[in-house]
Amino acid sequence: MKFDKPLFYKLRSRFGGISMMDRYIASELIAPFLLSVGIFSSLGVAVGYLSDLINKAIESDLAILQALQVLLLKVPEFVSYALPISVLLATLIAYGRLSSDSEIIALRSCGISLYRIIVPAIALSLIVTGIAFLFNELVVPTANYRATAILVASLNEEYPFWQTKDIFYPDYQKVTLPNGQTRQKLKGLFYAKQFNGKQMKQITILQWAGKNIDRIIIADSANWNNKQQKWDFFNGTIYDIAPDASYGATTFFKHRQLSFLEFLSI
């Protein structure tokens, strides 16, 4: 039996430019996709956060209503994690069923190529990519912030979103070589052993001049002065290093207020 034109193409005009095949394959993809999102999101919340939240409710007397609010606010984060893997699983399930029931063979017999058959899956992946982007940029940060605000207000608990120990910060400068090329050269190195979000402790700063270290700065602690937008360094010593690597002048200070870059270029 010979067809002048595939039946699916004849029916396209009846569905606003979307063929019957596209609608059919999309329906096969959407059901397992939504099921996968629900399963993976639930597992993520249960494994990644629920046990910790239960401990807070039991040990720290976190109210049940507030715990439920925090739990719901954490769901968008795990939904964003579940979206990519759900697309993959839905595609495997849908096209696996079409293949096992010989429906792909039937579509091929109508003159439809494999590239055309996978168009609905590509469209779904692009749509989910956009949704995941919006989730990660707009929904997840706001929801996590509100969840953290509830915990801070209820338990006086703050999450350290910053690095809390062994903090390194290298400062580079561009150097032009004799052949005209440029490369980065280490100018200064900052190290703090601990940081609690407000105060740094056991600070060491190394400053290079040419190929040699020419200054070593050590301070017990430093606090951020938000009003003046500078760091207050306390109980420190500045060691000047001679070209022959011997110690030169030594300067002690109890308090010195400088910005970080100024401190490196003392």
Question: Amino acid letter at 12?
Answer: R
187 token code pair: 């100018």
* Nearest C-alpha neighbor of 253 from the set 211, 218, 209: 218
- Asked if 121 contacts 26 with a C-beta cutoff of 8 angstroms, the reply is no
pLDDT, tens only, 151-176: 777 776 555 545 677 888 887 777 77
- The tokens describing 137, both together, are 């940029």
Q: How far apart (Å, rounded) are the C-alpha atoms in residues 70 and 251?
A: 52
Question: Which tokens go with 129?
Answer: 């990519």
**Residue 19: which domain range?**
7-155
Inside any domain, residue 1: no
Q: Which residues pair with residue 168 across a beta bridge?
A: 191
195-245 pLDDT per residue, tens:
876 788 889 888 887 778 888 889 999 887 777 777 788 999 888 888 777
Number of domains present in the structure of the chain: 2
Domain stops at, among 97, 121, 155: 155
Tell whether 197 and 173 lie within a shared domain: yes
Contact 87, 131 (CB under 8 A): no
Q: Are 131 and 225 part of one and the same domain?
A: no
- Nearest residue to 199 (alpha-carbon basis) of 167, 239, 159: 167
Pairing assessment for the beta strands 165-176 and 212-225 based on DSSP bridges: unpaired
Out of 126, 155, 184, a domain closes at 155
Query: Which residues are CB-contacts of 148 (< 8 A; sequence separation ≥ 6)?
Result: 158, 159
Residue with tokens 């719901």: 72
Shared domain for 41 and 142, answered yes or no, is: yes
Q: What is the mean pLDDT of residues 40-46?
A: 89
β-strand 212-225 against 247-258: which pairing, if any? unpaired
Distance of CA 134 to the CA centre of its chain: 14
d(CA 266, CA 256): 11
Q: How far apart are CA 166 and CA 194, in angstroms?
A: 6
Q: What percent of the chain has pLDDT over 70?
A: 86
Q: What is the pLDDT of residue 89?
A: 93
Report pLDDT digits (tens) over 76-127: 999 999 999 999 999 999 999 988 888 888 888 888 888 888 899 999 999 9
Q: Which of 151, 150, 148 is nearest to 161 (CA)?
A: 148
Looking at the fold, whether 101 and 184 belong to one and the same domain comes out as no
The answer to whether position 255 is within a domain reads yes
Residue 92 covered by a domain = yes
